Structure 1
């Protein structure tokens, strides 16, 4: 077939620059998209004329031509599949959960599941705005994601509920052949309060100075030392650089002032610390050059460290009118779905995982949908190549906001969607802490909102903090590491306000490439008579992994 492709190019007056490489790629295109040599060359001719390319076919144009063929095929499928009715058979194929799906919790304290997102090959296609249509007959899936056989399989469950059998019977009834899918509204609207810092879209960054870094670290140390003394775990704080074998109190002239001294931990039976952690050390420094530690205080009691009024933050009531007029809806239960990007597979920019997630959410009717970035991933191969014909903002507006707008319009006014950016988002500021997305849909501003990264919000009186692990040892900071990890653009001019934590959250949500997990953390020392504070720590995993599906969480 390569010779036929070569002859077709010559017939149409084209010459091949890197003949062998171009013919190999064209042969792949013909096989993948079921094109004859004449059809392929005709498409190339139209493509080159629209872009005013020369008659010499360059190998560098092949990647962009592949995207053009993908777009053509997608548009052709959309035009062909014109059925507008969705029946139970197709719906159950798209979103059937199997017997394990009955383990999902709808209301509880807190109940989390991990789902493997693997859709079956079905006759469903995705419009750019996220709508799903079905013509009632199976069709061949053209992407590895679309060819997955298992989908929405429950991987793990926390606090399994007792009404599993009832839920299963209800689902069996819904999947009967005569059942027609109907629009169902969420049972109750959740209250939502954003506890934000002064970070706003378009804020200035990259203006931090050495002085800002020094002041940031100095203030953290001073606040931590004050809390240590207030807790009674240690007496007055002393300078470890002063040469003395005894515990003498310091004078004003003995301040450390940024000096460093080596710390010897050999006499400790066990310890666990990380770079940037602020700890209290008891020991002696006989030479003035090395502090020999005899005791390490690496935590502060919860009663001291989590003062709710220590760091006042601005609170934005997303549904202020609802909260004030109807306090009876301030429920303890909250149904929520949490997913972290990337939201498309590495072989294309079709955003199939996001479309499947929203289809699942349409069925489960959660009160809150929390999506963590990256949305337009800078690590995506097509983004790295720079061959896409749309701006990053256009992709975000059409593929992300467009689909979410369709979702909230379908679900009604009771649903809420929260977006949290990532430093891997190509359409957003590369800085940490990160301002929220600037979402212009004013008519949906009370339903689709964006949070800072990191950020805090309360839903139905449940405090939830996306991103970055918190414990007693972290010194009331979202990002206690110092120096920051390579690739983290930490801006110290923004950090003092945006990275402060005022209290231990009920739910802590992290976004990580590590394996998905959920764990209940018990903070506080029962031996000291403290009441332990519990925090549910959740890593939802990535929604898409390579060319395949990933995981998300539901509660």
Structure 2
């Protein structure tokens, strides 16, 4: 029937009819099979039923929309044939033709060129994705709760039928529970077969075995890093009795809901980067009393000051021989010039860093730098109304993943809940990932429920499990959360709504965010900016200073949660939102930067920076952080850090 439709459309060759007939036989799908199609044959290609054929008029209308005039009638007939053969909609094939023809100058729409288009685009896409479709068809089908219940019920009925014909087991032998039509299964046994039991906070997979390495860990509760001295022998909070948690910025200056992304233009990205250069250049010129800025491409014999952004001259890693300075649009028209760093005694540079260089450029092809002007940090936060008598607050900080790599059970999370109930911190800052996309069971699609359901149960366990402690919960998303938008900056989680009794103490915030906790400013991000910048940063002399301190200083002086450009390959950035929501409004009192790198607590430019580590490291337990903070009295003239004490502790 399919071949008859093709032959009745227009004059077609026998080869085309045979190919179309074979394609129809190969792609004759049931509803379940459609889910396993390759992506190029799934989106917009099988969404219509084969009983609703494409039309000549619709293709002509789509072409007219783009002012495409066919040179002959056979071109539209061939496009109609390829729509049916490759299961494409009219707008889809026209879009494919536009993308193909734009790469060829003077490529007219005629029957001969449509054949070339079919040979080089459509047939190659179909052949390229067909093995993936076959491989995907062999995978076990995914089930939701309803279909899983039906399978369990069918299996139970089958076992009941088989068990009715068995004899009672002898004493001491291990066989399945005896059930007969007169003696049905007990409720206790039937509950163990329910899929909802697999969907408990302690087990989210068909193989809910806990990690042996995690359960047999040693040194639980050991303090590995300390800062300051805590008052009293034990770390105890007041259960959030007098704690206030709010965003430092107004809601219009913070991400409070989801936003559209993937609508960036290269011109918009350029404008964002140029605005950042100009903003920091104004700070540099005022702080270092720089009189004039010269173009990076103008030849000059005397020593002058150049300003711009550090970049690499290739796609490789930045090194001392590949540094270039990209000027701003105002002074340098965005031009790039290599930089000779041999005259600098010491430096620390990374791609995206905005700097001012003093040097010469005698040939206009290379800047010989003699002096480097680095960024300037922002002032600290000063509240409009000074509140006296603020009590000391205990803040707990933990970063996911909250499961070990060899088990999807949330045992580390449950242990952390026990710590929260025991110590009763005033505020708990919990950073993702909560449903780690790098977990081996998630990567291999072994879960029997959706990622959103796993996250909801995880949140339910945390919120209800800590209700007795009274602690405020601050939930920060991560780019590694499988159920959430993976674009930076990230909006708060949106698929879980706490109950009325928990709404005041549960706070869903964005990544990054700046918090005001009893007049103490916390800057928080779950993105591993330390690891990303550490892989790109260069310094001289090598090993001259602490690498963590250098990177943290760059974050504070560049006034951005993520100053690296271009970013790491694993991160997707919306630059317009980065400019609006990922800039430091002030120098924070506490900077929380969890990382895969080793945990630490450091005082950098008066800001206490803490990497609490991750709650799990592979198959073993990790660490979390805890702090005592209190706003100093306003009577002091000199600034004093509000961080009284801090520790990193093993879970």
Partner of 2:614: 542
The one of 560, 582, 600 equivalent to 1:499 is: 582
The one of 160, 163, 169 equivalent to 2:232 is: 163
The one of 388, 402, 409 equivalent to 1:343 is: 402
Call closer, same or farther: CA 1:205–1:144 in 2, change over 3 Å.
same
Partner of 1:403: 461
1:488 aligns with 2:571: yes
Q: How far apart are 1:275 and its partner, in Å? A: 1.0
CA-to-partner distance for each residue in 1:270-313, whole Å, 9 max, x for gaps?
A: 1111111111011111111111111111132x4xx43869xxxx
Partner of 1:306: 379
Partner of 1:194: 247
Within 5 Å, which residues of 2 pair with 1:11-410? Answer: 49=155, 128=200, 143-161=212-230, 163-164=232-233, 167=234, 186=239, 188-196=241-249, 197-246=253-302, 255-300=331-376, 302=377, 305-306=378-379, 330-331=390-391, 333-399=392-458, 401-410=459-468
Partner secondary structure for residue 248 of structure 2:
strand
Call closer, same or farther: CA 1:129–1:382 in 2, change over 3 Å.
closer
Structure scoring higher RCO (CA < 8 A, sep ≥ 6) equals: 1
Partner secondary structure for residue 453 of structure 1:
coil
Asked if the contact 1:379–1:424 (Cα under 8 Å) also holds between the matched residues in 2, the reply is yes
Partner secondary structure for residue 279 of structure 2:
helix
Q: How far apart are 1:482 and its partner, in Å? A: 0.8
Partner secondary structure for residue 255 of structure 1:
helix
Name which of structure 1's ranges 193-202 and 480-489 shifts more when overlaid on structure 2: 193-202
Q: Write the distance in 2 (CA, Å) between the matches of 1:141 and 1:381.
A: 14
Asked if the contact 2:399–2:612 (Cα under 8 Å) also holds between the matched residues in 1, the reply is yes
Within 5 Å, which residues of 2 pair with 1:466-485? Answer: 466-467=524-525, 468=529, 470-471=552-553, 474-485=557-568
Call closer, same or farther: CA 1:455–1:519 in 2, change over 3 Å.
same
Partner of 2:24: none
Q: How far apart are 1:246 and its partner, in Å? A: 2.9
Asked if the contact 1:129–1:406 (Cα under 8 Å) also holds between the matched residues in 2, the reply is no
Q: How far apart are 1:256 and its partner, in Å? A: 1.2
Call closer, same or farther: CA 1:342–1:460 in 2, change over 3 Å.
same
Asked if the contact 2:614–2:623 (Cα under 8 Å) also holds between the matched residues in 1, the reply is yes
Partner of 2:507: 449
Asked if the contact 2:401–2:433 (Cα under 8 Å) also holds between the matched residues in 1, the reply is yes
Q: How far apart are 1:421 and its partner, in Å? A: 0.7
Q: How far apart are 1:162 and its partner, in Å? A: 5.8
- TM-score calculated relative to the size of structure 1: 0.63
Q: Write the distance in 1 (CA, Å) between the matches of 2:519 and 2:330.
A: 47
Asked if the contact 1:205–1:494 (Cα under 8 Å) also holds between the matched residues in 2, the reply is no
The one of 424, 429, 442 equivalent to 2:485 is: 429
Partner of 1:513: 596
CA-to-partner distance for each residue in 1:104-155, whole Å, 9 max, x for gaps?
A: xxxxxxxxxxxxxxxxxxxxx9993579xxxxxxxx9874322334411222
Partner secondary structure for residue 371 of structure 1:
strand
Call closer, same or farther: CA 1:374–1:249 in 2, change over 3 Å.
closer
**Number of corresponding residues:** 388
Q: Write the distance in 2 (CA, Å) between the matches of 1:441 and 1:254.
A: 50
Q: How far apart are 1:453 and its partner, in Å? A: 0.8
Asked if the contact 1:280–1:296 (Cα under 8 Å) also holds between the matched residues in 2, the reply is yes
CA-to-partner distance for each residue in 1:43-63, whole Å, 9 max, x for gaps?
A: xx96984899xxxxxxxxxxx
Call closer, same or farther: CA 1:51–1:207 in 2, change over 3 Å.
farther
Q: Write the distance in 2 (CA, Å) between the matches of 1:290 and 1:191.
A: 54
CA-to-partner distance for each residue in 1:216-261, whole Å, 9 max, x for gaps?
A: 11011111111111113422222121112136799x9983111111
Call closer, same or farther: CA 1:390–1:231 in 2, change over 3 Å.
same
Asked if the contact 1:307–1:502 (Cα under 8 Å) also holds between the matched residues in 2, the reply is no
Asked if the contact 2:601–2:609 (Cα under 8 Å) also holds between the matched residues in 1, the reply is yes
Larger CA Rg, structure 1 vs 2: 2
Q: Write the distance in 2 (CA, Å) between the matches of 1:51 and 1:220.
A: 67
Structure 2 residues without counterparts, runs of 5 or longer: 1-150, 159-187, 204-208, 307-327, 530-550, 628-651
Partner of 1:103: none
Name which of structure 1's ranges 198-207 and 281-290 shifts more when overlaid on structure 2: 198-207
Asked if the contact 1:343–1:351 (Cα under 8 Å) also holds between the matched residues in 2, the reply is yes
